[in-house]
Every structure is written in C-alpha cells, then in structure tokens.
Amino acid sequence: MSKEFVLFYKLLYSVFERGVCLKNDFEKIYSKMDKFMEDKNVTEDNINELMADFFSQYNGGTLDIEDTPLDKAMEKFSEAVEVKSEKKAIKLAKEAIKICPDYIEPYLFLIPFEHDGEDVLTELDKVITREKERLKKEGYFDEIGHFYGIWETRPYMRALHQRALVLLQYGKINLAKKELEEIIKLNEHDNLGARYTLAAIYAYFEDEKKLKKLIKKYNEKNLFFLVSEMFLYYKLGDNKKTLEILKEIEDENPYFIETLTSDEIDDIEAEGFYQLGEKSEVMEVLFTQNFLLNSSPGLIKFIVDNVVIYDD
C-alpha cells in the first residue's frame, strides 16, 4: 500500500462527520435510546418527555441499559481510530470485528492495510454488498430518501461514500459519479456532502444541465458549487461567464485566486476540516476538486491573464 493512499484513506475518516469517534458516540446514544424506548408506549404527546428522561439518565450515568455487542464494537473501533500506532489500530479494529461481525466499519478501515490496487475496490464491494443485503432483509430499503437519518444505515452510507472517493482516486470518474448519485438518492439531505464532489464531476463532464439541477435542488451558495461552475464554463469556452463566477468566488473567499495562482497549488493538502472564508476552505475545495483542476490545465494562466492579482 502506498504512503499516499494511506494518507488519503486516513483523510476519509477525518472528513466523515469531522471525526469518526464523535460519530460513534452519537450512534451509541441512538442505539441506547432505541433500547430505552422499546418498552415505552411512545406517542407524539409523550415523546419529548421520554427523550428528556432518557438524556437525564444518560448524562447522569444512571441509565440501566447494557451495552450491546454493536455498542462494544463501536467503542473498540473508536479506540482503533484514535491510536497513533498503525499496528495497534489494526489489532483494535480486528477486535471490534470479533465483538460484532455485522459491524462493517472495522472491515472498511482494514481494507487498505491488507489490500492494494483493484483489490481495494473488490473488498469494498464485498462489504457493501453484504451490508446492503442485510439492510434490505431488515426493511431499511423501504426508507429510500431518508438514509443517514436512520442511524442503522449510516455505516452503509459512509461505505458508499468511501467507495466513491476511492473510485475518484483511481480515476474512475464515471463510476464515482454513479455512486454519488446513489448516495443522494438514498439520502436526499446528503449529510456526507456527496453533492459537492458530484458537482465537480458534472463540471468535469461539462454537463451544465445536471450541475444546474443539482445546485437548484440544494439551493445553497458556497465555494464548492461556485468553483464547479467556474470550471464548467471555462471548459465550455464561456470566458465571460467564467470571470463573472470568479468574481463571485472572490467575494465568497478572498484567498481563492491568490491560492490558485501561487506555488501552493502544486502541493494541495486538506486537513478534513476548514473555516469558511479562510484559506483552509480554499484548500479543502481544491483538494476535493483536484481531478477537475487537472482536467483544465489552461485555467490558471487564463485567470492570471484576465485578473489583477496583488502581491503583498
């Protein structure tokens, strides 16, 4: 396994909800809440009172509900992600699998440590297929459109997102597109931000209709969508529209042009978290859309030739 892929894979886990450990904490709470509500006659009238009672007991340490094997596995996996030692992380992830073989995230975590090349995708497909069959059997696919709002489906959604990003890393952009489209079909709210990468892919394929439809669907103005639009119109040869959007981008984040036209562009990195309006946001966007940048080698010179760039 290459060093670059290890770093890429670790970034995936830092991106998901800005920390897998925090994510597991929430899902463990949801798991316990389900158990707490099992023997209650839950109605619209008493749901708020029951939830308040649950959190009072949970936060006070008086909740008398034993950890399920899944709870214990999530806890063990949180340890695996936190440790700095690769050997220790692998050991803890394997322990999580022994505790709860149906918990898929440790399997996903271990794949790049045990496989490389096309075998990574093969193993991802095995895990995802098995989890999809389980979710279908348990009736979760009756809730298409609301995945991720249901905590039991979240590992599956993260697995799909992971496969999409690996496909993108491998240059299989059309396959990544299909995966991301499936993600926002299953979960229209798109908690994972798949729409931002999908927007870049539509720009890559110069699909103005689908990009406009996606932006309209989510009705939000942000750097990810604006940059995808800029690339799209540059690739379509609409220089006037490209510069108009570039002005919007500069209004949204004043660091964009100077970062894109600096030597930093040759060594794009992202930390998995960023601050709106700051350079970290620019680096996050360019990292996500690096494949799109590479497909438009003339863009930077076009910007330099058409925009006044001030040096401090």
pTM of the model: 0.81
The radius of gyration of the chain from alpha carbons, rounded to an integer in Å, stands at 22
The sign of the torsion formed by the CA atoms of 256, 262, 268, 273 equals negative
Determine what percent of the chain is predicted with pLDDT higher than 90. Answer: 46
> Looking at residues 222-237, what average pLDDT do you find?
96
User: What pLDDT digit, counting tens, does each position of 114-132 carry?
Assistant: 898 899 999 999 999 999 9
d(C-alpha 165, C-alpha 168), whole Å: 5
Per-domain boundaries in the chain: 209-312
User: What pLDDT digit, counting tens, does each position of 158-211 carry?
Assistant: 999 999 999 998 999 999 999 999 999 999 989 889 999 999 999 999 999 999
- In this structure, the dihedral spanned by the alpha carbons of residues 77, 80, 82 and 86, taken in order and rounded to 10 degrees, is -160
Q: Which residues lie across from 147 on neighbouring strands?
A: 150
Q: What is the pLDDT of residue 124?
A: 93
**Which ranges in the chain belong to alpha helices (H)?**
3-15, 20-37, 47-60, 69-82, 86-99, 105-114, 118-137, 154-169, 173-186, 194-204, 208-218, 223-235, 239-252, 256-260, 279-288, 290-294, 299-306
Query: Which residue carries 């894979």 as its tokens?
Result: 9
34-43, 289-298, 302-311: lowest mean pLDDT where?
Answer: 34-43
Q: What is the pLDDT of residue 258?
A: 87
> Looking at residues 87-96, what average pLDDT do you find?
93
Query: Which residue carries 């995945």 as its tokens?
Result: 147
